[in-house]
A and B are shown apart, each in its own frame.
Chain A
Amino acid sequence: MNSTSGISPATTAIDAPQDLLIVLRHAPHGSSWLREGLDVALVAAAFGKRVGLLFQGDGVFALLQGQSSGPLAQKGTHPQLAMLEMYDIEHLWVSEAALAARGLPVDSLMLPVTSLEASRIARLMHSHPHTLIF
């Protein structure tokens, strides 16, 4: 099974391996993992590399609508996500099981993403020459 929010059909292709796949497994705010993973993605894109993102586990919470800055004005990661398109990072994948376990419909997210079942996640990782997990 494979569904998209329908906004960006380009993101449906998992047969479009990028130079680098960044896997984001951590929720926003609680730790700096998500921010630091996205920083690597944005820098790699700025250096002309093609970058894809996979949201897995609690990383899918990064895609919730309505996030804001945290206590003491701690920056969130949603502004980084809003910049992805500007950096031509358009291949966004998300674990279907991770969304389902958290009760999040794919079309409720802040960005158009392609949801992947497990076997397609394994294929996605195999098709990318470089993968970093955050």
Chain B
Amino acid sequence: MADLNIHIKDLHFKNPVTTASGTFGFGEEFMEFMDLNLLGGIFVKGLTIKNREGNEYPRMAETPSGMLNAVGLQNKGVDYFVNSIYPRIKHLHTEIIPNVNGGTVEDYLMVTEKLNETEGINAIELNISCPNVKEGGMAFGVSCPSAVAVTEAIRKVWKKTLIVKLSPNVTDITEIAKGVEGAGADAVSLVNTFLGMAIDAEKRKPILSTVTGGLSGPAIKPIALRMVWQVYQVVKIPIIGMGGIMNATDAIEFMLAGASAIQVGTANFIDPQVSLRIIDGIEKYLAGHHYKKAGDIVGQLMT
């Protein structure tokens, strides 16, 4: 059987399949559906320094081959995660990666410092691309100087693996990717959701309470794939790819385009066991094409 292991500095994925932040809760929601130890890693729901109630209902709209969400980083704050949630999931034999959010650089720093003290956490994902919060979030990720600034600040305090999650809502994602690489990121993850909107024509009203929200699902796959491929041409650090992955073929496409690992997001809602099927499918593909390890297909698109 092919070797599926992926190492990104302190981080060790036993296979390239991880779950995307905000689509997999804290893992516990899926325990009845699967053995979580089989996953490469779990990117848990976005954390902020304080408790956040998130946006008002309605927060969701279905769209063709996708969905919009406007959750707005509802979470009980990093302390609650560290003290109450993490102890319940730290025994899992899979990497648990917190997704770090903030309205200001200081916020990001404070969250990171709390996690610094938590044993067993080998990596954080810096979310500079959330389109659903009024302050911070995506604002950091759509300008290169601010993306660099927050990455540099966190790099100073976080010594283990630092993953920066990029926004697709930009003219040139390669510029931002190079910027955060220069600022010390160990990996980039992309993409977060696309800013979109849905309207109820009969009521003449937006469907989401926040008017706009983040688009995810297969609809965005072609754009996400293009971005991964573009970023792969310009950075040396590993890429964790995502955006509409529904099955193993999709995952393999992202890997061929340059992703060392992938995240499964919206697909979890439709088939909570989909990640296991994706792991199986990648194994079969590697075997069928006589590859020795998962890393052998990364970036191997013949153009």
A-B interaction: no
Binding site for A on B (CB under 8 A): none
